[in-house]
């Protein structure tokens, strides 16, 4: 399912982005996630980086998709505030969460939390909701990807072995589909990159809507 709708002192953000192999002064990624940077580079985009921290706490009664969208928008907004001196700045913010029934699985705090999440996901299908916002000083656009992932049944030994790898750290739902947890996935319907943390089809659409063509197929 896809839809697109129209202080501490820290190091200064890196000012340049690259699209199609040419320098662009506009695009920034408001994220500390190395996976999102890796995914943008996969489509030929090298953004400036902004280190932002926003609360990731679901509000009472807040629908899971609304929660993910709000956090992604707050990340982009926090990033935009850092580069307001550049009137041409574009800031991309994203958030991805695992949802089982009405429960949102964020990043586990410890090994026990990761094991509990994996045990709950084992043998069932869950949703992965990924929302991207692209903001400028006068315009903002949103894209959403919802994927369904079905895990195989997992016994306690398999869960314990996976948790011991440490791969669960910093991952929504306590797993990385691009890592060893790929062996748990019986089926995936939707966006593989969205499950990783940034749906590339939707993100490329947002960039094009702002007149920026990703460097797919380009050689520098």
Q: What is the DSSP string of 97-132?
A: EEEETTEEE---SSHHHHHHHHHHHTTSEEEEEEEE
Model pLDDT, residue 8: 39
With beta carbons less than 8 A apart as the criterion, state whether 205 and 47 touch: no
Catalytic residue, chosen from 51, 66, 95, 109, is 95
Model pLDDT, residue 26: 87
- Contacts of the segment 201-204: beta carbons below 8 A, 24+ positions apart: 201/2, 201/145, 202/2, 202/4, 202/132, 202/143, 202/144, 202/145, 203/39, 203/40, 203/43, 203/92, 203/94, 203/132, 203/143, 204/43
Model pLDDT, residue 215: 73
Reply yes or no on whether 95 is catalytic: yes
- pTM (2 decimals)? 0.85
Model pLDDT, residue 141: 98
Averaged pLDDT, groups of 10, the chain, 220 residues long: 46 47 68 93 94 94 97 98 94 98 95 97 98 96 98 97 96 96 97 97 96 65
With beta carbons less than 8 A apart as the criterion, state whether 203 and 191 touch: no
Bridge-based pairing of strands 185-189 and 140-151 is antiparallel
Q: What is the Cα–Cα distance from 44 to 22, expressed in whole angstroms?
A: 10
């Amino acid at each position: 399912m896809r839809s697109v709708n129209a202080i501490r002192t820290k190091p200064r953000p890196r000012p340049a982005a690259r699209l199609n192999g040419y320098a662009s002064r506009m695009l920034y990624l408001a994220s500390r996630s190395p996976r999102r940077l890796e995914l943008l580079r996969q489509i030929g985009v090298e953004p400036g980086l902004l280190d932002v921290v926003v609360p990731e706490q679901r509000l009472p009664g807040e629908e899971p998709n609304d929660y993910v969208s709000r956090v992604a928008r707050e990340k982009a907004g926090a990033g935009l505030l850092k580069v307001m001196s550049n009137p041409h700045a574009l800031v991309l913010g994203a958030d991805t969460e695992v949802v089982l029934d009405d429960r949102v699985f964020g990043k586990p705090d410890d090994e026990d939390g990761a094991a509990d999440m994996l045990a709950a996901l084992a043998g069932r299908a869950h949703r992965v909701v990924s929302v991207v916002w692209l903001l400028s000083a006068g315009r903002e656009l949103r894209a959403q990807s919802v994927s369904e992932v079905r895990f195989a049944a997992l016994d306690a030994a398999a869960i314990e072995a996976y948790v011991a790898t440490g791969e669960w750290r910093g991952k929504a739902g306590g797993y990385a589909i691009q890592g060893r947890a790929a062996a748990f996935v019986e089926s995936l319907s939707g966006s593989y990159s969205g499950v990783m943390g940034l749906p590339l089809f939707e993100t490329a659409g947002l960039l094009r809507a702002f007149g920026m063509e990703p460097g797919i197929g380009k050689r520098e």
